[in-house]
């Protein structure tokens, strides 16, 4: 089969190659990949993450496709089924898994980092990682549920967003941001999208502003009480301003450090307003099921900027941080 493969870090080392089709084991599923997302984690996998396995390595953490064959013990899906892949490998037996927190599995890891991913014609994943999706869900959306949508959904749930609250989404046009906007809206919040783009209103945002104008917009929409929740995966460049947007009992959620890892904070501001800083990562399979159902009901959408075939996969990754980028980047193997 054809796949994007690298054997040492660096975009210049990522090549389309003919490699052996992956082998099924009794509990796994062979998928003909139809769409895969390009996320910052995939870029990092190729460029900077050490110790990915196996080497040579196929990246691609978030993907969907058609079941081609199943292992002898697999009953949940059959050849021909359309599936989205839950991106975290997990053992199902540790204390975190037993608590329904597969993304925190003690022995887990991300598909595409600790195993080969979806930038290939075929991929093999454990049967417990696949979710059947109907024809109602386009491939690009199915391949955006397990990282983009799931990370946003889990973050909003950890922040206990309730109807009528004001939720600010920073980096709202990004892979996670565009779902955070839609999901916060579904949860009944008033949503302020902080972004350099304009189209977030089409995805349900009540206000669309850049970071410099966010304070005034949040003040206006909240009637002066400021934000209940801010979702900010951007890190150093924005998070101090994000925290300033919070009102009493406000919660800021972070799951990324796209622009840097350091945070300076006023402790007095945190305790006097009773703020909470919440770390979040990934999401559970139960939450993935919720998202599949929302997608089936056509409550979720994606905006795709560009799609690439495997031959142009390197360009797909190169364009992730392009200033022209205006929506998601997909690889359609
Ligand atoms: N822990 C987890 O489970 C998890 C899961 C998913 C993602 N993440 C992390 O969360 C972060 C966001 O992920 P994502 O997939 O949403 O990223 P993304 O699609 O690249 O979106 C980031 C958005 O941030 C805005 N932005 C502002 N300044 C930027 C800058 N200097 N560089 C790049 N973007 C900038 C852009 O939106 P505007 O143009 O709208 O301003 C951009 O679309 C990443 O660090 C990622 O690794 C973590
Ligand atoms: Zn576990």
Q: Give the strand order in the sheet containing 227-231.
A: 207-209, 190-194, 166-170, 227-231, 246-254, 276-279
User: C-alpha angle with apex 230: 242 to 305, nearest 5 degrees?
Assistant: 95
- Rounded to the nearest 10 degrees, the angle between the axes of helix 214-221 and helix 236-244 is 30
Give yes or no for residue 254 CB within 6 A of ligand 1: no
- Residue of the CA atom closest to atom 33 of ligand 1: 321
Count: domains in the chain:
2
Average per-residue pLDDT for the chain? 97
Question: What residues have CB less than 8 Å from 200, skipping those under 6 apart?
Answer: 172, 173, 178, 181, 193, 208
- CA–centroid distance, 172 to ligand 1, in Å, is 9
Pocket test for ligand 1, best of 258, 291, 320 (most atoms within 8 A of CB): 258
**Ligand closest to the CA atom of residue 214:** 1
288 Cα–ligand 2 center, Å = 17
61 with 109, same domain: the answer is: yes
pLDDT (tens digit per residue) in 83-114? 999 999 999 999 999 999 999 999 999 999 99
Give me the pLDDT at residue 130, please.
98
Ligand number nearest CA of 284 is: 1
Q: Whose CA is nearest to atom 17 of ligand 1?
A: 174
**Nearest-angstrom CA–CA distance, 23 and 20:** 9
At 276, is the pLDDT very low, low, confident or very high (cuts 50, 70, 90)?
very high
| Ligand found nearest the CA of 102 | 2
**Do 120 and 188 sit in the same domain of this protein?**
no
Q: 209: domain range? A: 148-279
- 244: domain CATH number is 3.40.50.720
Q: What CATH number does residue 100 fall under?
A: 3.90.180.10
Q: How far apart are CA 187 and CA 166, in angstroms?
A: 11
Residue 295 lies in a domain: no
Q: Is residue 284 part of a domain?
A: no
pLDDT in tens, 29-65: 999 999 999 999 999 999 999 999 999 999 999 999 9
**Does residue 22 sit in the same domain as residue 114?**
yes
Dist. CA 262–CA 324, nearest whole Å: 27
Index of the ligand 1 atom closest to the CA of residue 44? 47
Answer yes or no: do 165 and 36 share one domain.
Answer: no
Asked if 169 and 140 sit in the same domain, the reply is: no
Check whether residue 59 and residue 152 sit in a common domain: no
> Does the C-beta of 171 come closer than 6 Å to ligand 1?
yes
Does any ligand 1 atom lie closer than 6 A to the CB of residue 177? yes
pLDDT at res. 201 = 97
Q: Which of 37, 40, 180, 208 to mutate to test the pocket of ligand 1 (most atoms within 8 A of CB)?
A: 40
- The answer to whether residues 12 and 134 belong to one domain is yes
Question: Is the CB of 319 inside a 6 Å radius of any atom of ligand 1?
Answer: no
With beta carbons less than 8 A apart as the criterion, state whether 194 and 170 touch: yes
| Residue closest by Cα to atom 15 of ligand 1 | 175
Q: Domain check: are 164 and 187 in the same one?
A: yes
Are 140 and 153 contained in the same domain? no
> For ligand 1, atom 24, which residue shows the shortest CA distance?
171
Tens digits of residue pLDDT in 179-201 = 999 999 999 999 999 999 999 99
Closest ligand to the CA of 93: 2
């Amino acid at each position: 089969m054809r796949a994007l493969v690298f054997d040492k870090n660096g975009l210049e080392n990522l090549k389309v190659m003919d490699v052996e089709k992956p082998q099924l084991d009794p509990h796994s599923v062979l998928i003909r990949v139809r769409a895969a997302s390009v996320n910052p984690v995939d870029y990092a996998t190729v460029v900077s993450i050490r110790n990915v396995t196996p080497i040579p390595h196929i990246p691609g953490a978030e993907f969907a496709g058609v079941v081609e064959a199943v292992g002898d013990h697999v009953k949940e899906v059959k050849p021909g089924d359309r599936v989205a892949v839950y991106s975290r490998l997990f053992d199902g037996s540790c204390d975190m898994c037993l608590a329904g927190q597969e993304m925190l599995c003690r022995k887990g890891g991300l598909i595409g980092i600790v195993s080969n991913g979806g930038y290939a014609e075929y991929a093999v994943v454990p049967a417990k990682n696949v979710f059947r999706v109907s024809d109602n869900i386009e491939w690009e959306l199915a391949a955006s549920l397990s990282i983009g949508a799931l990370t946003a959904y889990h973050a909003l749930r950890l922040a206990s967003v309730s109807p009528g609250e004001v939720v600010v989404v920073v980096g709202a046009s990004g892979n996670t941001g565009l779902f955070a906007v839609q999901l916060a809206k579904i949860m009944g919040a008033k949503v302020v999208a902080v972004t350099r783009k304009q189209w977030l209103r089409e995805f349900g945002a009540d206000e669309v502003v850049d970071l410099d104008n966010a304070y005034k917009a949040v003040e206006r929409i909240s009637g002066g009480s400021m934000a209940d929740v801010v979702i900010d995966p951007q890190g150093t460049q924005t998070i101090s301003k994000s925290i300033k947007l919070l009102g009493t009992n406000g919660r800021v959620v972070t799951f990324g450090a796209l622009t840097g890892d350091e945070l300076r904070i006023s402790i007095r501001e945190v305790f006097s307003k009773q703020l909470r800083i919440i770390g979040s990562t990934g999401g559970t399979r139960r939450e993935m099921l919720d998202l599949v159902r929302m997608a089936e009901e056509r409550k979720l959408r994606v905006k795709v900027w560009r799609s690439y075939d495997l031959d142009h996969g390197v360009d797909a990754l190169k364009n992730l941080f392009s200033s022209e980028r205006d929506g998601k980047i997909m690889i359609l193997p």
